[in-house]
Each structure stands twice: as C-alpha cells, then as structure tokens.
Homo-oligomer: A and B are copies of this chain.
Amino acid sequence: MKLKNDTPSTIDMRVKGMPGRMQPIPITDIGKQGWNLLREELTLPVAVLKNSALQHNSDWMRRFLAAGNCLFSPHGKTSMSPQLFEMQINDGAWGITLATSHQVQVARRFGFNRILLANQLVGKQAVAYIVEELRNDPDFDFYCLVDSVALVNNLAQAVREAGIARPLQVFLEVGCEGGRTGCRTYEQCMDVAQAIGDASPFLALRGIEGFEGLIPAQAGVAVEQQVRGFLDLMVKVAHQCDADQRFSAGPIILSAGGSAFYDLVVQSFADLALSQPYVIVTRSGCYLTHDASMYKRAFQKITDRSAQARELGDGFIPALEVWGYVISRPEAKKAILNVGKRDVSHDQLPLPQRWYRVDSKDKPQPLADAHVVTQLDDQHCHMTVPEDSPLQVGDMVQFGISHPCLTFDKWRVICLVDDDYNVTGAVETYF
C-alpha cells in the first residue's frame, strides 16, 4: 500500500532531536541532510531506529507466521507511526490492531482499511466516527470488542439509529478474574453472545478475542500453564458459539497474542473442529523494534518453548535506541546524563550499553556492566559508574530501552539510521 498523506509534515527545530540551526524541511528530506549521530549532527537526547534491525525483525516474524499458518495484525499502539504500519502491511500483515478511538482516527487518516480495535468502543464521538466511516467507505473493515450486554445494547442502538447498511463487526472478549476487560466466565460469555445475537442485524459476531499478556500471577502455577488455560477457555467459547450458530458469515476469527506468548496462541488454536472455516490472528506490537530487557527475556522463553522459532535462526534485534550526553560527573561513582522520563520508558530503567567519545575515530565501545541507571528524573538520568569509568562530560552514551511502547510515545519524529549512524530518513508518530 501507499500512505494516504497528501503533504509530508514540515519538520523544524521545535521537534525534539532536531538541530537548533536547521531550516524547516519536509520530513521526507531528513535522509538527504547528510546527518550522522556520532558526528553530533543531531541534538541529544535523541531516539533512533536502526534500519537493519527493523528489516531483520520484520523478516523473522513473516517467516514465523508463514510456518504457523496464522494471520497477523500487529498492534499499532506500540509505535503509532503510520510509516511503520505501512511497512507491516507491505510485509503481509492482515490488518492493524489499535487500542483507542484516537489511534483509529490516525490510522484511517493515513488510509488503513482493516482495523482491529482491541478494546471496547465507548463514547458518543468514538461510536459516531466509526459508524460514519462504515457508512462512507465500503472498504473499511473494522472490528471491535464487546464484553458486556450493556455495551452490546449501546452499540446496537447507535448502528440502528444511524441507519447504515451493514453491521458493526464485533469480537466477544474473554477475560480472566483480576484481569483487565473481558468476560470473566464461560456463562458471562454466553450471555454476551446471546445479546449479540439479539442485536442482529446491527451487530455481527465475527470472532472470539482475548489478551493473554496480563493474567494475574497465581502461586504455584507456571505462567505458560495459566496462558494455556486461558486460551482453552477461548476455544471452549468459540466451540459453543459455533454450535449455537452465533457467528455471522465469513471465517470465524480467533485472536489473541501480544508480544510474549504468540507461540502458545498458534499452538492452542491449531486444528480446531469448528463447523466453519476459521483463522487465527495474532497481534504482537513489540516484535518490530524489540527491546533490551522485558521482551528480550520474553523472546528467550519463546525460543525455549518453540522449535519452530528456534529453526528460524537469529532472533529479534533491538532496533530502538536512545542516546544522551554525560553532562556532569559530580561524584567519583556518579554520572548525570541528559536523558529523562520524558525521553525513555521508565517502567523499567534504561540500560546503558555503549559509549562514544566525540571527535574520536573509534566506534562506540561497550560500557562495563557496573554502569547502572539508578534513577530517572523528568530530564535527567542518574547513573552509578565504577571508579575507573571512562565517562567524561561530553561523552555520548547509548541506552537500550524497555519497553518500546513507552519510549515511542516520547518522540514525535524518530530518525532512521544505518549501522554507522548515518541518518537515512525518519518516521513520525501520532500520540
């Protein structure tokens, strides 16, 4: 596909990371400026995406999913970058998953037609927007979740009042006690399925959805076992909805799979005996950029579990890096850097991985493990360093991040770089 974006955005020195003395340019010209991160031609702190890692990760996921006979609707909330969505669609994604009405608005504006809102659709503006888009664009293929009779009735009323000629496609969301959204029990699922049936022809039940990534830990039970139990409940609900003829025309869709357990989803949903054809849709958002901690560990577990994943060779590579300067060495074992909570995710503290002395001929060098971030303020990073740390005021440090979703949203423009940190382009985000 090609992004529907009439005029490329103009980028100027108000955009974080851009040099102060630049003239405004179209974002499409950023790769033509000859900038290089290590030559200090950007203003730090800055986030960059490595082209080679993006390509590698994209290719890995495509091969994994092809082997599993599974459709892919990557979660766009991670990057909220239509240029990366486009890359994902061009790589074969079935659609784009999103979390909020605002995110749907952004994706629609850039011309994406198949959208899975992995959330309940609530609110006058949000519902009216979707209904009007369904009315005006026959190619708009939209799905959202329902987990309550109340919401089913609200949505059915809105569709009926709007008088559009086709139903709103919904997935029945299965949840778990102590979790987020989603019906807690099989019985609740059946009640909601009944309500969707009663709401025909305004709503159409197209599938069963769940998110296995947030199941509360249970003492003495391995998380994989909990995830399998949850996926089994989804399958049970799917079987009963099928037996009750609740599903509308078209293949039944079974969707689960964040970034940590999609291998189990593919296994659990394989070879079901449903009366209609069905497809599996997984939704990982973080595979494309990966990270240096949380998803690194999750991916290690996927390869431990899945022979299919191991056979694909080298796994994901972190693509998203944040760079900052050492701005003070106020104590023998402390460095302060100009990277803060506004620049990098702080659910997990960033990992200082490499350093670079400006104007040197060397490449960035690994930092010893004893360099540890102990605190982030809004605009500063406190780092404990060994007494013999090479770091001086003015040195650059590269951080690995975790997790990507909460780093992407700190940046409106993220430069794409080659392996030598030449800027080859940029992506824009819409948070």
Chain A residues with CB under 8 Å of chain B are 12-14, 16-21, 40-45, 77, 99-102, 104-106, 108-109, 119-120, 122-126, 128-130, 132-133, 147-148, 150-151, 154, 175, 177-184, 214, 325-331, 336, 338, 341-342, 347, 358, 377-380, 382, 392-394, 405-406, 409-410, 412, 430-431
Taking the closest CB of chain B, its distance from the CB of A251, in whole angstroms, is: 27
Q: A358 touching B124 by the CB < 8 A rule?
A: yes
Q: List 5 A-B contacts (CB under 8 A).
A: A40-B125, A44-B125, A99-B379, A122-B327, A122-B394
Chain B proximity of A409: nearest CB distance (Å): 5
Q: For the complex, give the distance between the alpha carbons of A44 and B17 in Å.
A: 29
Q: Which of A105, A109, A150, A328 lies at the interface centre, i.e. has the most chain B CB atoms within 10 A of its CB?
A: A328
| In contact, B20 and A125 (Cβ under 8 angstroms) | yes
CA distance A382 to B177 in the complex (A): 13
Residues from chain B with a CB closer than 8 A to the CB of A100 are: 45, 338, 379
Which of B16, B41, B42, B347 is A431 in contact with, Cβ under 8 Å?
B16
Q: In whole Å, how far is A27's beta carbon from the nearest beta carbon of chain B?
A: 14
A119 touches B379 (CB 8 A): yes
Are B325 and A125 closer than 8 Å at their CB atoms?
A: no
7 residue pairs, one from A and one from B, having the closest CB atoms: A20-B129, A40-B124, A120-B327, A181-B328, A99-B379, A43-B125, A122-B327
Could you tell me the distance between the alpha carbons of A99 and B102 in the complex, rounded to whole angstroms?
Answer: 30
Alpha-carbon distance between A40 and B183 when the two chains are bound, in angstroms: 27
Partner among B101, B150, B379, B412 whose Cβ is within 8 Å of the Cβ of A392: B150
Q: Quick one: closest B residue to A132, CB to CB? A: B21
Contact of A13 among B109, B181, B182, B380 (CB under 8 A): B109
Complex Cα spacing A109 to B12, Å: 10
Give the docked Cα–Cα distance between A326 and B341 (Å).
28
Given A154-B394, A342-B409, 20 additional A-B pairs, CB 8 A: A18-B105, A19-B125, A19-B129, A43-B105, A43-B126, A43-B129, A119-B338, A124-B358, A148-B330, A151-B327, A151-B394, A175-B330, A179-B330, A182-B330, A184-B330, A341-B347, A341-B406, A342-B431, A378-B406, A409-B410
